């Protein structure tokens, strides 16, 4: 499948948006590990309508004017289990958090907390697939591909309060 990409500036650094004919494939971080999400980003296409719309919606989100996204998503990578976890992320509402244990329960694999954490770390569609809303069971911020400072900024932007953000 042919992908196209464009980059955009954001309060958490430059983001690379990758799309296909059917939807958004990835939002990658400026210094993302190329092994985290293994996809061919394809040629740069700054005016691709779906990528332009994704950028518009992300800018609204960063400006505090958007709580939900409506761009179509195209999960082209990952195992069926990883995709199940990524789809479960979409159900975490704006301004709320869940623990890895909560997410494991939600996907029907309550003992698979570590596997859920690993799948969360491979989420290709950061921000829109809100892996930043998943925190440790103690309430602490845990690993995030974009860095813990970016995770904290996104949670603050959504109005999440807690001791983990105060550090």
- Residues noted as catalytic: 131
Distance CA 60, CA 94 (A): 14
Residues 6+ apart with CB under 8 A from 55: 6, 8, 17
Beta strands 4-8 and 15-19 are antiparallel
Q: At 85, is the secondary structure helix, strand, or coil? A: helix
Distance CA 38, CA 141 (A): 25
Q: At 63, is the secondary structure helix, strand, or coil? A: coil
Beta strands 4-8 and 24-29 are unpaired
Please count the residues of the chain. 167
Distance CA 67, CA 148 (A): 21
């Amino acid at each position: 499948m042919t992908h196209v990409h464009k980059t955009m500036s954001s309060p958490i650094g430059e983001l690379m948006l990758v799309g296909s004919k059917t939807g958004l494939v990835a939002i990658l971080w400026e210094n993302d590990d190329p092994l985290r999400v293994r996809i061919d980003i394809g040629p740069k296409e700054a005016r691709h309508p779906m990528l332009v719309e994704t950028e518009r919606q992300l800018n609204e989100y960063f400006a505090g004017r958007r709580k939900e996204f409506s761009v179509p998503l195209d999960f082209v990578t990952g195992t069926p289990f990883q995709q199940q976890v990524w789809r479960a992320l979409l159900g975490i509402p704006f301004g709320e958090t869940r623990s890895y244990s909560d997410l494991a329960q939600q996907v029907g694999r309550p003992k698979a907390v570590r596997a859920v954490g690993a799948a969360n770390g491979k989420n290709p569609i950061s921000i829109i697939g809100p892996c930043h809303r998943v925190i440790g069971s103690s309430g602490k911020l845990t690993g995030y591909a974009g860095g813990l400072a970016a995770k904290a900024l996104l949670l603050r932007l959504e109005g999440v309060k807690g001791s983990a953000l105060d550090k």
